[in-house]
């Protein structure tokens, strides 16, 4: 790949802005990374800081979650406990401590939609902080702001909220016991977090299901089974 992160960013910015059509807003739900790519660059402009430093200061260090971090390609040491993901067919090696998402990779490993590494303990702790913000017991994020993120999209047929997904009536990776106010997020590599404010529950699952290839899709059946089994054992099913 013969491009620098700066060149890739310029290309992405131009392409995303050229594709933007205000007339199409709120007509249908479309899964896309483009909005969060732009959001990352907007945050950099407002803060006058690289996104990885802003995240470290305002989230990771600010909340004491030191394992959560971006690993800029070629500029950050890879923690020894980082597990491998895919044997990438076009990068020609097994990825370890290297962002899996192709777009984030060409942007240098840091982007608004992908690139953060961390332990299950710190990821889970961040979920608990979200719960605290939602019920007003944690001041790291204002309760009204947290509630705004939790609001379901008004687009017909959408299960989305701001940065989160909701429980789908037709079947969800969260299984059948998470309530309607639950929100979660999935990662292509086999990661997920689901938060149920009514049950005061956070469930975090970090796997490397793409190792060594993405052809195994059994995670689709495993995720709901995992959540249903766990909630049943906790007496919440």
Residue 104 has a pLDDT of: 98
Q: What is the pLDDT of residues 182-217, one digit of tens each?
A: 999 999 999 999 999 999 999 999 999 999 999 999
Residue 196 has a pLDDT of: 99
The mean pLDDT value for 63-90 works out to 95
Q: Can you read off the two tokens belonging to residue 179?
A: 């309530």
The band of 24, judged by pLDDT with boundaries at 50, 70 and 90, is confident
| Residue entry with tokens 């995303």 | 16
The Cα 209–Cα 191 span in angstroms is: 8
Contact by Cβ (8 Å): 116, 65 = no
Domain residue ranges in the chain:
1-118, 119-237
Whether the predicted pLDDT of 1 surpasses 70: no
How is 177-202 classified by DSSP, letter by letter?
SS-TT-EEEEETTTEEEEEETTTTEE
CA 221 to chain centre: 20
Phi-psi region for residue 92, left (φ > 0), alpha (ψ -120 to 50) or beta?
Answer: left
Residue 28 has a pLDDT of: 87
Q: Can you read off the two tokens belonging to residue 149?
A: 């993120």
Phi-psi region for residue 39, left (φ > 0), alpha (ψ -120 to 50) or beta?
Answer: alpha
Q: Which residues pair with 227 in a beta bridge?
A: none
Q: Considering the domain 119-237, what is its CATH architecture?
A: 3-Layer(aba) Sandwich (3.40)
Whether the predicted pLDDT of 15 surpasses 90: yes
Contact by Cβ (8 Å): 173, 186 = yes
Residue 157 has a pLDDT of: 86
Residue 114 has a pLDDT of: 98
The Cα 208–Cα 212 span in angstroms is: 9
The mean pLDDT value for 214-235 works out to 97
Threshold 0.85, pTM exceeds: yes
In 3D space, the residue among 124, 114, 136 whose CA is nearest the CA of residue 37 turns out to be 114
Q: What is the pLDDT of residues 30-75, one digit of tens each?
A: 889 999 999 999 999 999 999 999 999 999 999 999 999 999 999 9
The Cα 98–Cα 211 span in angstroms is: 13
| Residue entry with tokens 């205000």 | 22
């Amino acid at each position: 790949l013969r491009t620098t992160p700066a060149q890739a960013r310029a290309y992405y910015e131009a392409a995303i802005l050229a594709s933007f059509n205000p007339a199409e807003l709120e007509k249908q739900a479309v899964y896309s990374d483009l909005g969060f790519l732009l959001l990352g660059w907007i945050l950099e402009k407002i803060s006058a800081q690289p996104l990885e430093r802003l995240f470290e200061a305002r989230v990771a260090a600010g909340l004491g979650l030191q394992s959560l971090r971006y690993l800029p390609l070629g500029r950050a040491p890879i923690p020894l406990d980082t597990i491998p993901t895919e044997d990438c067919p076009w990068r020609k090696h097994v990825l370890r401590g290297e962002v899996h998402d192709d777009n984030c990779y060409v942007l240098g490993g840091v982007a608004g939609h992908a690139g953060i590494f961390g332990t299950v303990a710190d990821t889970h702790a961040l979920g608990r902080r979200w719960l605290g913000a939602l019920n007003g017991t944690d001041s790291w994020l204002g309760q009204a702001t947290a509630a705004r993120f939790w609001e379901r999209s008004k687009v017909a047929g959408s299960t989305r909220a701001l940065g989160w997904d909701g429980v789908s009536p037709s079947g969800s990776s969260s299984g059948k016991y998470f309530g309607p106010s639950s929100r979660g997020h999935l990662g292509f590599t086999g990661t997920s977090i689901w938060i149920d404010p009514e049950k005061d529950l956070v469930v975090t699952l970090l796997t490397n299901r793409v190792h060594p290839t993405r052809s195994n899709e059994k995670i689709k059946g495993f995720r709901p089974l995992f959540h249903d089994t766990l909630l049943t054992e906790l007496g919440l099913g």
